[in-house]
Structure 1
């Protein structure tokens, strides 16, 4: 069965593509390449340059490649940018889900894995969140992910869609230099960029009610995230129809200072930092409860923070091999 991976030229998407290939699934990628890198897509995987909001283009890919299921990762993903451009985020993310569902319905495709986010939880009352924790996103990005889940749930009832939405937490690491996350928007690449520039890292808040005063998050290796997608695909291919939201995390939290210390140990370079103000709306501590995904898919994270940082640093500090023209 062929699987379409939207956003398959992106950081997480490229890892998912390789994981599905390793499991023997034929894969086709649809990506508008606005942030994706075509060099991340293996040479033997068809790459269609198109936006997921283009229903006709998506429908054409589904029919021409006889797609049996979709892994939908294509989306805008910056919470800060979403605050500045909320309407655009809604149009791109929610509109993208709507166009995809429309195209899938027209092509008779009934299997979907949706890339959601822990951002749907907002500022939870407790530090550990499970799938029953009330969803209360605090930024337009999180709200678009929750809206996407709700659209999919509605489509599941109307069109007989079998689906799994994966709410993953803070993704770190890389399988190869070409696949690295080089955009300094998340903590680890921000620290790497600061080390390269010789400037201190700004720690946003050191007065939280946590063990060292800095924010605590659940970090998960990108290879484990790719494995979670592969487990979801296997479940949709072999099991009865399903409709579930699942957390993808380790169940363990690390503070910002924990991460800086681990980066210093891995790189053998101390990480200078300064304390800045809190970011509005940042919760003190958010950790996944991964019990349900373990029970439903048999998935469990296999990598720890040292694995994540070491693989990310190796990829970051190794120049990527240029893509071969072809």
Structure 2
């Protein structure tokens, strides 16, 4: 198939784009490079530097390339920032996606895999979270993604628009030549590894009084390669089904302190910790149930152990800074 990957110059989008090409698909990446990196672009993918809010560019591209489907990753992703500047999240994540959807409808492109988030659930009533759990985001980032899911549901109902919404949790780990790198960095595992590399003095833990075994937040970490495989399975399944909603996770959670301990084991470095107050909008526990996608599409994570995820990230970060140096 001929697939457009929005946000394909990013960590997850670039990994999925490469896997698509490995499976014989033709890929065109659309990215405005506001957070993406040219180094993340797969070597043989066509690249269009553009914003998904530019409907004219998208329509011309979809028609010229006779595009079969879209993988949509382009978004702002920082929950903490969204509680300070919610307006830019609704503009970039919600309104811009509407422009993308309008371009797809106008050109007859009728297959979308949407990168959603577990943040649509907010503070869950129980864990592991299943797909029918109440959708009550506790931050503007989650709300901006939920608005897109609501738009998709209506387009499916009225236009028969085919879509898969994948709600995933903390993505981590690395594949050959590709890992997690944000500027500025805000995700836990790369921040912890920065301490091991001597690039920062300590790791901050935000909140140590949550109702969890050690007082720190619990999150479900999914390896980026496992997540990419789930996206390909969803894309294929849309050939026979018109609406898919799946959680993607490894099915168990790890506290912030457990992640730090894992990094200490993997790297062999002492990693000092600074405790800070809670951040607004952070749920205490987010753990996914991925039973549905396992039963329906046969997906299951290959990287279920935290040390394996951290080790793959550690290898990539060491190579990254050796090259940079």
Q: Tell me the TM-score normalised to structure 2 length.
A: 0.94
Instruction: Specify the alignment match of 1:290 in structure 2.
Output: 290
Describe the superposition over 1:104-144 as per-residue Cα deviations: whole angstroms up to 9, x where unpaired: 01111111100000011111122321111101011111101
Q: What RMSD, in angstroms, separates the aligned Cα atoms of the two structures?
A: 1.7
Equivalent residues in 2 for 1:107-256, closer than 5 Å: 107-183=107-183, 184-195=185-196, 196-237=198-239, 240-256=240-256
What displacement does 1:50 show? Answer: 0.4
Give the length in aligned residue pairs: 321
Instruction: Specify the alignment match of 2:302 in structure 1.
Output: 302
Q: Secondary structure at the match of 1:5?
A: strand
8 Å Cα contact 2:14-2:41 kept in structure 1: yes
8 Å Cα contact 2:123-2:138 kept in structure 1: yes
8 Å Cα contact 1:182-1:316 kept in structure 2: no
Distance 1:294 1:242 in 2: 18
Distance 1:36 1:173 in 2: 18
Flag the 1:263–1:282 CA change in 2: closer, same or farther, 3 A.
same
Flag the 1:3–1:71 CA change in 2: closer, same or farther, 3 A.
same
Structure 1 alignment gaps of length 5 or more: none
8 Å Cα contact 1:249-1:287 kept in structure 2: yes
8 Å Cα contact 2:202-2:271 kept in structure 1: yes
Distance 2:323 2:28 in 1: 21
Q: Secondary structure at the match of 1:262?
A: helix
Instruction: Specify the alignment match of 2:83 in structure 1.
Output: 83
8 Å Cα contact 1:14-1:179 kept in structure 2: no
Distance 2:8 2:31 in 1: 6
Q: Secondary structure at the match of 1:114?
A: strand
8 Å Cα contact 1:2-1:27 kept in structure 2: yes
Q: Secondary structure at the match of 2:156?
A: helix
Flag the 1:106–1:288 CA change in 2: closer, same or farther, 3 A.
same
Q: Which moves more between the two structures, 62-71 or 120-129?
A: 120-129
8 Å Cα contact 2:80-2:281 kept in structure 1: no
Distance 2:46 2:215 in 1: 48
Describe the superposition over 1:267-299 as per-residue Cα deviations: whole angstroms up to 9, x where unpaired: 111211122222233222111011111122211
Flag the 1:198–1:98 CA change in 2: closer, same or farther, 3 A.
closer
Q: Tell me the TM-score normalised to structure 1 length.
A: 0.94
Equivalent residues in 2 for 1:44-83, closer than 5 Å: 44-83=44-83
8 Å Cα contact 1:174-1:181 kept in structure 2: no
What displacement does 1:84 show? Answer: 2.1
Q: Secondary structure at the match of 1:210?
A: coil
8 Å Cα contact 2:172-2:180 kept in structure 1: no
Structure 2 alignment gaps of length 5 or more: none
Flag the 1:61–1:179 CA change in 2: closer, same or farther, 3 A.
farther
8 Å Cα contact 2:68-2:111 kept in structure 1: yes
Q: Secondary structure at the match of 2:186?
A: coil
Distance 1:206 1:321 in 2: 35
Distance 2:73 2:109 in 1: 17
Q: Secondary structure at the match of 1:288?
A: coil
Flag the 1:178–1:217 CA change in 2: closer, same or farther, 3 A.
closer
